[in-house]
Structure 1
């Protein structure tokens, strides 16, 4: 008891994190994440900070149930699957913009940072040239950018101001019978479940949540996937020989190099986890990344193994009622990236040391990932 760290959206150097218990093994992480009655997801530090509170991530039942029903309809699998042609086009264009065949490329500086941002801009009907803004908002809010509190706050204000104005414009256009661009923001506006719709304020905050979480996490995942292809040539060759193996590669990459590392919970009652006597009001840090390396659940965890029988148990997208709704979208971007890489390039080689970001423990991802994409002869 005594680990201190910052939840997303808070301000290092301004906000003061509270000491928390650390939960690491698979069974204990699962117990805390599943028991939403004993462990609240409300984040008082974020609520008291100047940053906007996230939707779903920081809600408890019954409000979480209401919000998730509506959001789940907006993120239904058929809707995500219908985005495949647009995501393919964005991925191909992004590679055209940033990749040079047979020359070193740091994919974290461009492709992995920009594809998720361009996808989010498309989903929200934003001008394409705002892709850098989306990236800045995400890295600032999710704490992976080493910037001052003033810069972080400025990005939060920019993002919220934009979405407050943008959502109003979209609502006005829809009420006039027009069909504005932005399939996800339009779904947030139009979706109704049991006669219930999201309020204007909720739509704005859902846009903010999806933007910062979707752009940030997927950026790191894409970098980690490309690192697997570069660092484990046999995995790349397996995929080249049999593209149906991608699902197994995707799942094991989530376990081996899953971006989301930890989230906080707050005990609502006195409870014992393992040998720890946790008191009501204590903070608990669930390290999903550590659970993914628990040898009792995943034997030989430091070995990248395809076709683990329990691959679906990895926790990189959370566990229980807070499992990430945007996971299928992240998978769609990863599938598109891998498929186009396989079509265009014969091999992916390491061109320099992979440097893992050390600004935040929130995400496991690369700050620098230099590789060479070898063209087909």
Structure 2
């Protein structure tokens, strides 16, 4: 990719960018932290402070196209009229909208339900299950001496944890894993002739989750699905059944998919940085700092999306109502104005928790505490079970010249395979 041809590249459809966007992000940031890509109908926001400015301003920026049949990379389904298009935006709402697409009071009410579920006490109670689950999976892998992390460990582990937390029956877990595995990655290349939901497997799972919620309302159980089934909004009103069903499915898919991606990324860095691995073996208290630096360098979300609902600004750039905005979290987390040597892994980097891997503001990832706890448990268990964790050079090449493949997605950041050699 050259500086001269950037105006010919489209973030949403270019396969090279979908697989590896960093060079594209660097080109955009070098021009402006708020860059109007020539020939495109969106702003690319790559600056750290500018990204935070957007996501902390739900008054001026709508989240409607984060998950939508229209998609952030497709033309608007209406012609913006006037200085405030809030009414036009709300007219585009569909039954497929999810929590991450909600705005205003409706978002706050649904988010309040979710926030009550990821409490420190609940996560602490689930930690013992995580510990046993990780150990059980690792025993066979270590005796074998190798594994492909995503399929052999991360997906079974993350699925088991979120399914146990929710209370999903064992038999259904396998069905869901098969259906999700057969679906394209969330945020695959935009096709203007094929407008559909970003999560096609939701349609399959909907009947299952509706049955779970109805059952929990009739037969209480000590799990999150029961708490969801009986939840009320802060004003005391009862959510519609399908809102609870969508929340439950969103938790399961996010807890399974995003968590497994991040676990695989953590283990990749652990294997690729032997000096850091040794430091963690000597001092387990450094594991949280390791996790935060991995999140900064390679979180599971490349970008989120906003639509300007009224005339506003980002930094000193004027943004008319109806402007689509790509908020590039991965670029912001490597902004040299915010981080010294931003592409370098630094254990105990000053201020590392300021990263935006989990977003910021009202749409900060509700599952962030769960993801951090899972990563801490998993890294600790790998270090306990293995005297050495290394990348398989036959698959990934030698240090300094690694071969890694990523999912083709304009939303998610995830490795397609991590092959490890495990020494007992």
Q: TM-score, normalised by structure 2?
A: 0.76
Q: Do 1:268 and 1:280's aligned partners in 2 also have CA atoms closer than 8 Å?
A: yes
**Matches of 1:213 and 1:171 in 2, distance apart?**
24
Aligned to 2:12: 5
What is the deviation of 1:358?
3.6
- Structure 1 unmatched runs, 5+: 7-17
Q: Which residue of 2 aligns with 1:46?
A: 68
Gaps of 5+ in 2: 1-6, 14-39, 72-93, 397-402
Secondary structure of the residue that 1:43 maps to in structure 2? coil
Classify 1:144/1:34 alpha carbon distance in 2 versus 1 (closer, same or farther; 3 Å): closer
Q: Aligned equivalents of 1:333 and 1:218: distance in 2?
A: 8
Distance 1:132 1:295, change over 3 A: farther
Q: Which residue of 1 aligns with 2:126?
A: 83
| Gap change, CA 1:129 and 1:145, over 3 Å in 2 | farther
Shifted more, 249-258 versus 99-108: the winner is: 99-108
Quote the Cα distance in structure 2 between the aligned partners of 1:111 and 1:252.
22
Question: What's the offset of the Cα at 1:126?
Answer: 1.7
Asked whether the 8 Å contact 2:68–2:198 carries over to 1, the reply is no
Identify the residue that residue 206 of structure 2 maps to in structure 1.
Answer: 160
1:267·1:282 contact (CA, 8 Å) conserved in 2? yes
Cα drift, residue 131 of structure 1: 3.3
Per the TM alignment, residue 198 of structure 1 is displaced from its structure 2 partner at its CA by 3.6
Q: Which residue of 1 aligns with 2:230?
A: 190
Aligned partners of 2:346 and 2:420: how far apart in 1? Answer: 22
SS of residue in 2 equivalent to 1:22: strand
Tell me which structure has the larger Cα radius of gyration: 2
Pick the aligned partner of 2:155 from 104, 113, 128: 113
Q: How many residues align?
A: 355
233-242 vs 128-137, greater mean Cα deviation: 128-137
Q: Structure 1 residues 5 and 66, CA, compared in 2 at 3 Å: closer, same or farther?
A: same
Question: TM-score, normalised to structure 1's length?
Answer: 0.85
Flag the 1:32–1:152 CA change in 2: closer, same or farther, 3 A.
closer
Runs (4+) of structure 1 exceeding 4 A deviation are 1-4, 47-51, 136-139, 148-154
The 1-side partners of 2:43 and 2:213 are apart by 39
Query: How far apart, CA to CA, are the structure 2 residues paired with 1:80 and 1:108?
Result: 23
Structure 1 residues 5 and 144: alpha-carbon distance in aligned structure 2, compared to 1, 3 A threshold: closer
C-alpha separation between the residues in 2 aligned to 1:131 and 1:205?
17
Deviation at 1:30, TM superposition (A): 0.8
CA distance in 2, matches of 1:187, 1:78: 15
Cα-to-partner distance string for 1:24-52 (whole Å, 9 max, x where unaligned): 11011111111111111122871568983
C-alpha displacement of 1:194 = 5.0
